[in-house]
Amino acid sequence: MSILLTAVVTLGVIGAGSAAILYLIGQKFKVEEDPRIQEVQEALPAANCGGCGFPGCAAFASACVKAETLEGLNCPVGGQPTMDKVAEILGQTAPMTVKKIAVVRCNGTCESRPRTNLYDGVSNCTIAAALYGGNTGCSFGCLGLGDCVESCTFDAIHINPDTMLPEVVEDKCTACGACVKACPKDIIELRKQGPKSRRIYVSCVNEEKGGVARKSCDVACIGCSKCQQACPFEAITIENNLAYIIDDKCRLCRKCVPVCPTNSILELNFPPRKDKSPKEEAVTVDA
Amino acid sequence: MVVSPSPHIHSGDTIQKNMYGVLIALIPAFLVALYVFRLNALIITALAVLFCVGFEYLIVKYLMKKTPTVLDGSAIITGVLLAFNVPSNLPVWILALGCLFAIGVVKLSFGGLGNNIFNPAIAGRIFLLISFPAQMTVWPAPETAGAVDAVSSATILGNLKTNPELLPSLQTMFLGIEAGSLGEMSALALLLGFCWLLWKKIITWHIPIAIMGTVIIFTGILYLFNPIPLYHPLIHLFSGGLMLGAIFMATDYVTSPMTKKGMLIYGAGIGFITMAIRLWGAYPEGVSFAILLMNAFTPLINNYTTPKRFGEVVKHG
Amino acid sequence: MLKTFRIGGIHPKDQKISAGSAIQPIAIPNQVIIPLGQHIGAPCQPVVKKGDTVKVGTLIGKAVGFVSANIHSSVSGTVLKIDRSVDASGYRRDAIFIKVEGDEWEESIDRSPDLKKECTLSSKDILDKIAAAGIVGMGGATFPTHVKLTPPPGLTPEILIINGVECEPWLTSDHRLMLEKTEEIMVGITIVMKALNVDKAIIGIENNKKDAIGKFAEYTKNYPGISIQALKVQYPQGGEKQLIDALTGRQVPSGALPISVGAVVQNVGTILAIYEAVQKNKPLVERVITVTGKDVKQPCNILSRLGIPVAILIDMAGGLPETTGKIVSGGPMMGKALATMDVPVTKGTSGILIIPTLEAKRKAMKDCIRCAKCVSICPMGLNPTLLMNLTEFEVWDGAEKQRITDCIECGSCSYTCPADRPLLDYIRLGKSKVNTIIRARKTNA
């Protein structure tokens, strides 16, 4: 009986002592933190993707709390609903944000862009790009080795094995921008998702002269400026033999799409055209 | 045409070459084992290899769902080394259990060759030693001495503490006709293997010499003050699993440090712990425990030792 | 005991099958493509335009900025266009296309084979002549030579080291130069010694080129201050830091230039170019290139004008073998694999190596078995497998601490790895990332 008693007393004393020490240490090293940071953090998606420009959701939360207004602070993953929630916690209003999405500006599939050599090295775009122009005649286009896939925390971008090009999964893409940073060829761009996900963009980044670009890839932009002329809103620029559609000016009229002789302007999620457009003719360009 | 980053040539060295090189180095020790224990040596070794390779194949294929790479030779080495570390009359089911533990738990659960923290053969042996102390510490006498029946006999290290008068001559120890585990018999055969490994540049001298050196210095100092057989440096060097451990198990690529400095620290650590266990511990033998302990320290050693950098050498000339 | 460097090193098979073949000049094709960026540093500004007539040695590209080098026409003819052309890395860069007409040289160039020993120019005049001739490091680094011969303030050169090591397997162009242009090289050395104001020069040659060592030994008596040192064959002895270590026992500290230990290293090819520029007014318009490989019919050493497509050189060596799997510009350890044979020869092209299909591809990578062979052979005393892991997991501060920036990209680690791991691929990536980080830190600070 006395053994039992000794054990209980000893353990009890040890326990109480430890508790006291823990309490004292806890008091001494207590960090005063704005409780709202915790609240804001709970409202965030906890993806820790860094898409907001901060190292993680916690850092973004404390930035939100410290900032006077929410101007310039945006969680691309959570989008407007999340920012509204954050604004509510902080008693502010969230600025309107436009939903964006990653767009791969290269359409050089295996058929349209023949391979000229065989890359035999680590399956890593950055390493391959540092080594040479790539396994096709086009030194601007996608290498298809998947740095973007690797960088995506949302499983929203995949290499299509048939085309060897990355494809963005619209529902999953949060426009965090990780793939934009990962791509050594600067092919991926964040563009407005557009109403009903409708968007138009030039799917090429080749800055070579028309002939050279065309020789290496069937669907290369040759900088012919036909789209520029067709555009009623001055939304298209031509620089370095390359057309670019300015997101903010484009009204999605689709006039540029059929005039492109190489089909390098892509339209996504639009209903099929009613009238017979000249687009059909343009397809029959030989290789 | 192929485009790849430089270099465009390769030495032709492969994992297989290194692994099979180690196996070749083990042949002399195996021949001695055959001579001393006859058929038993062959059976135990063959079974251990079979178990190790078989378990690895099955686990990798059906549990890990990867392509098995049993032919890289590492599982064969584990089998042989484990067999060399057990008595020649060990029941087969115990051996199988040891192989399963070595391959399944120690090697593959960490991700297979290259990723394990502990040497599988050593860990397997210790697992058996702790689980089946009776079976693991009863050694049959050498069959060559004319004894027809396998009589259990104590090892040199077992006798060293209790009855030093039973010790065989140093020469016998060196040649290896003695009681003990399969492959730890003959220092001579193991040294032959060591020469082969050095010649083929499969290992460097650092770890084995550091271990042996530490043992000699350690016991040498004690022997100077008190010259009894228990402290005799050569007895410690030639007996038990020291040679086998120092040359073949401590030098396992995966579980030993990568820098020369680290290798020396690691070797010295093994030598010291071995002697501490042998002289003051409960077990007569301590090589495997020493190696296992130092395996655990390897990442730490790697962290704190850097290779000799270019430009840090003292200028002269 | 032969001297060699003290840390790491490997011994790849020599394979110098073209060593016995004398240097032969190339027939000039109808058109050459002369890239404007043939050196480390800023590409040249073209000073000719379409339709201009040029002679051999006419300045066609002017150096821009301090680290840059002039470029001269290697043929006589008419400028066709200035356009982009594919370079050794498959990227298209600016180049001057010249249609060849005859072979007329600038009058100022002395084309006689006579040796001209005396040089009365001052150090500055010599450097100016070298800069004007557009000479760059011809071992492959292509760093502008006049910059390298201008020591940074506060540092004085004490010794000139001549790199005749040619440690890359297969290549023999430097070897042939040393045999055929021995005395020209000796005179070139005296000129550089004068330019640097040093009184000591050592020629380092690996012991697999005994004939070259013997040839130089004949001349060293007549040239005070110049000595010759045979070296134990070991790769990468031709690395600047390794060669200085082997010859003088001094090790260049991490991040420092060779001049910090008083040494300036020049390749024998560069020395010959300096001789020709200073004594004969000849700018850098041609160089010796080894065309070789296992299945090449006539492995040879070709004196080629710059701007000639690689394909023509291969034709001269007996044509492209059917077994071709990979074409490498440079040696097998550090050379660059070419994506196309249209690439023109540039100042840094030391060889064309044709690798058969069976040996062209790498083997599949396995898990690291931590054998530490890469650690023991790294000539810079680094831990390649650790650096690869740090790069793979993007631990840049760790990689910096492990001195990833010290890597000389010699490829010994990938060469040695029994698990066929692409160590250098990753280290190169990590090195460039860490360098970017360091630069960014410096500009911010």
Radius of gyration for chain A, computed over Cα atoms and rounded to the nearest angstrom? 27
Kindly indicate the confidence band of residue B177, based on its pLDDT and cuts at 50, 70 and 90.
low
CB contact under 8 A, B3 and C337: yes
B4 touches chain A (CB under 8 A): yes
Kindly indicate the confidence band of residue B143, based on its pLDDT and cuts at 50, 70 and 90.
low
CA-to-CA distance for C21 and C17, rounded, in angstroms? 9
* Mean pLDDT, residues C227-236 taken together: 94
Which residues are CB-neighbours of C342 under 8 A, at least 6 positions away? C85, C86, C309, C310, C311
Question: What is the rounded average pLDDT for all residues in chain B?
Answer: 86
Cβ(B275)–Cβ(B236) below 8 Å: yes
The per-residue pLDDT for B153 is 54
CB contact under 8 A, C382 and B258: no
How many residues can be counted in chain A? 287
Question: What is the rounded average pLDDT for all residues in chain A?
Answer: 87
pLDDT over 80 (residue A97): no
Kindly indicate the confidence band of residue B150, based on its pLDDT and cuts at 50, 70 and 90.
very low
Nearest Cα of chain C lies from the Cα of A132 at a distance, in angstroms, of: 4
DSSP A207-233: -S-HHHHHHH-TT------HHHHH-TT
* Mean pLDDT, residues A144-167 taken together: 92
Q: Is the peptide bond before B7 cis (omega within 30 degrees of 0)?
A: yes
CB contact under 8 A, C424 and B7: yes
Neighbours of A123 (CB within 10 A): 13
The per-residue pLDDT for B142 is 63
**CB neighbour burial string for C217-244, b if at least 16 within 10 angstroms, e if fewer:** eebeeebeebebbbbbbbbbbbbbbbbb
The pairing of beta strand C286-293 with beta strand C351-356: parallel
> Up-side HSE of residue B171: CA atoms within 13 Å toward CB?
0
Bridge partners of C287?
C304
CATH fold of A100-283: Alpha-Beta Plaits (3.30.70)
Chain B interface, mutation test: which of C167, C229, C373, C416, most B Cβ atoms within 10 Å? C373
Neighbours of C210 (CB within 10 A): 11
Chain B, nearest residue to C420 by Cα: B14
Cβ(B290)–Cβ(B246) below 8 Å: no
* Mean pLDDT, residues B224-241 taken together: 84
* Mean pLDDT, residues C227-253 taken together: 93
* Mean pLDDT, residues C73-83 taken together: 94
C-chain CB neighbours of A140 within 8 Å are none
Identity at C417, one-letter amino acid code: C
In chain A, the percentage of residues whose pLDDT exceeds 90 is 42
Query: Which runs of E-coded beta strand occur in C76-172?
Result: 77-86, 92-100, 159-164
Kindly indicate the confidence band of residue B316, based on its pLDDT and cuts at 50, 70 and 90.
very low
pLDDT over 50 (residue B148): no
CB contact under 8 A, A120 and B1: no
CB contact under 8 A, A118 and B5: no
Angle between helices C268-280 and C182-196 (to 10 degrees): 80
CA-to-CA distance for A111 and A216, rounded, in angstroms? 11
The pLDDT tens digits for B185-228 are 788 889 999 999 999 999 999 999 999 999 999 999 999 998 88
Bridge partners of A166?
A159
Instruction: Tell whether the torsion through CA atoms of B214, B216, B221 and B223 is positive or negative.
Output: positive
A120 touches chain B (CB under 8 A): yes
A-chain CB neighbours of C425 within 8 Å are 121-122, 124, 127
Residue in A118, A121, A127 closest to B1 by CB: A118
According to CATH, the superfamily of the domain at C123-280 is: NADH-ubiquinone oxidoreductase 51kDa subunit (3.40.50.11540)
The pLDDT tens digits for C374-433 are 999 999 999 999 999 999 999 999 999 999 999 999 999 999 999 999 999 999 999 999
Q: What is the largest CA-CA distance in chain A?
A: 101
Question: What is the rounded average pLDDT for all residues in chain C?
Answer: 93
Chain B, nearest residue to C425 by Cα: B5
The per-residue pLDDT for A276 is 52
**What tokens were used for C39?**
């050196």
The per-residue pLDDT for A287 is 38
Cβ(B185)–Cβ(B29) below 8 Å: yes
List residues of A whose CB lies inside 8 A of any C CB.
Answer: 116-117, 120-122, 124, 126-127, 130-135, 139, 208, 212
* Mean pLDDT, residues A209-231 taken together: 91
Cβ(C277)–Cβ(C129) below 8 Å: yes
pLDDT over 60 (residue A204): yes
* Residues of chain A by 3-state class (helix, strand, coil), percent to 5: 35, 15, 50
CB contact under 8 A, A127 and C432: no
ipTM of the complex model: 0.87
Chain A, nearest residue to C391 by Cα: A127
Chain A interface, mutation test: which of C326, C363, C425, C433, most A Cβ atoms within 10 Å? C425
Which residues are CB-neighbours of C178 under 8 A, at least 6 positions away? C164, C185, C205, C209, C212, C215, C216, C268
Neighbours of A29 (CB within 10 A): 7
Bridge partners of C132?
none
The pairing of beta strand C23-25 with beta strand C31-35: unpaired
Residue with tokens 């440079």: C330
CA-to-CA distance for C238 and B173, rounded, in angstroms? 51
Q: What is the largest CA-CA distance in chain C?
A: 64
The per-residue pLDDT for B241 is 83
* Mean pLDDT, residues C41-52 taken together: 92
C-chain CB neighbours of A208 within 8 Å are 84, 92
CA angle C277, C279, C285 (to 5 degrees): 25
User: In chain A, which segments carry CATH 1.10.15?
Assistant: 35-90
CB contact under 8 A, B5 and A127: yes
The per-residue pLDDT for B151 is 44
The per-residue pLDDT for B162 is 67
Cβ(A141)–Cβ(A106) below 8 Å: yes
Domains recognised in chain B with CATH numbers: 19-304 (1.10.3430)
pLDDT over 60 (residue A261): yes
CB contact under 8 A, C92 and A212: yes
The pLDDT tens digits for B33-84 are 888 888 888 999 999 999 999 999 999 999 888 888 888 889 999 999 999 9
Residue with tokens 């084979």: C113
User: In chain A, which segments carry CATH 3.30.70.20?
Assistant: 100-283
List residues of C whose CB lies inside 8 A of any A CB.
Answer: 84, 86, 89-92, 336-337, 339-340, 360-362, 422, 425-426, 428-429, 432
Print the SS3 string covering C382-424.
CCHHHHHHHHHCCCHHHHHHCCHHHCCCCCHHHHHCCCCCCHH
The pLDDT tens digits for C153-197 are 888 999 999 999 999 999 999 999 999 999 999 999 999 999 999
CB contact under 8 A, B5 and C428: yes
A127 touches chain B (CB under 8 A): yes
A-chain CB neighbours of C89 within 8 Å are 131-133
CA C176 to chain centre: 15
The pLDDT tens digits for C114-142 are 888 888 899 999 999 999 999 999 987 89
pLDDT over 50 (residue C306): yes
In chain C, the percentage of residues whose pLDDT exceeds 90 is 84
B-chain CB neighbours of A135 within 8 Å are 3
DSSP chain B: -EE-PSP-------HHHHHHHHHHHHHHHHHHHHHHHTHHHHHHHHHHHHHHHHHHHHIIIIIS-S---GGGSHHHHHHHHHHHTS-TT--HHHHHHHHHIIIIIIIGGGTSTTT-SS-HHHHHHHHHHHH-HHHHT-EEPPGGGS--S--EE--HHHHHHH-GGGPPPHHHHHHT-SSS-GGGS-HHHHHHHHHHHHHTTSS-SHHHHHHHHHHHHHHHHHHHHS--GGG-HHHHHHSTTHHHIIIIITT-TTTS-SSHHHHHHHHHHHHHHHHHHHHHSSSS--HHHHHHHHHHHHHHHHHH-----TT-SPP--
Radius of gyration for chain C, computed over Cα atoms and rounded to the nearest angstrom? 21
Chain A: touching chains (3 or more CB pairs < 8 Å): B, C
CA-to-CA distance for C378 and C355, rounded, in angstroms? 25
Kindly indicate the confidence band of residue B306, based on its pLDDT and cuts at 50, 70 and 90.
confident
All structural domains of chain C with their residue ranges: 123-280, 373-444
pLDDT over 50 (residue A282): no
B-chain CB neighbours of A132 within 8 Å are 3
The per-residue pLDDT for B315 is 45
**What tokens were used for B98?**
């040891």
CB contact under 8 A, C366 and B259: no
CB contact under 8 A, A133 and C92: yes
- Work out how many CB contacts closer than 8 A connect A with B: 20
CB contact under 8 A, A208 and C92: yes
The per-residue pLDDT for C172 is 95
For domain A35-90, which CATH number applies: 1.10.15, 1.10.238, 1.20.1740, 1.10.10? 1.10.15
pLDDT over 80 (residue B161): no
Helix H or strand E segment including C356: strand C351-356
* Mean pLDDT, residues B240-249 taken together: 88
Tell which residue, C21, C19, C14, has the closest CA to residue C316. C21
Torsion from C-alpha of C296, C297, C300, C304, nearest 10 degrees:
-80
Of the two residues C434 and B67, the one the predictor is more confident about is: C434
The pLDDT tens digits for C307-335 are 999 999 999 999 999 999 999 999 999 99
Helix H or strand E segment including C195: helix C182-196
pLDDT over 90 (residue B308): no
Question: For the whole model, what pTM was predicted?
Answer: 0.87
B3 touches chain A (CB under 8 A): yes
Chain B: touching chains (3 or more CB pairs < 8 Å): A, C
Which residues are CB-neighbours of C283 under 8 A, at least 6 positions away? C57, C59, C70, C72, C109, C132, C133, C134, C277
A135 touches chain B (CB under 8 A): yes
Give the range among A169-173, B195-199, C14-18, C348-352 with minimum mean pLDDT.
Answer: A169-173
Give the range among B180-184, B258-262, C81-85 with minimum mean pLDDT.
Answer: B180-184
The per-residue pLDDT for B178 is 66
CB contact under 8 A, C369 and B306: no
Chain C: touching chains (3 or more CB pairs < 8 Å): A, B
The pairing of beta strand B139-140 with beta strand C263-267: unpaired
Which residues are CB-neighbours of B69 under 8 A, at least 6 positions away? B60, B112, B113, C366
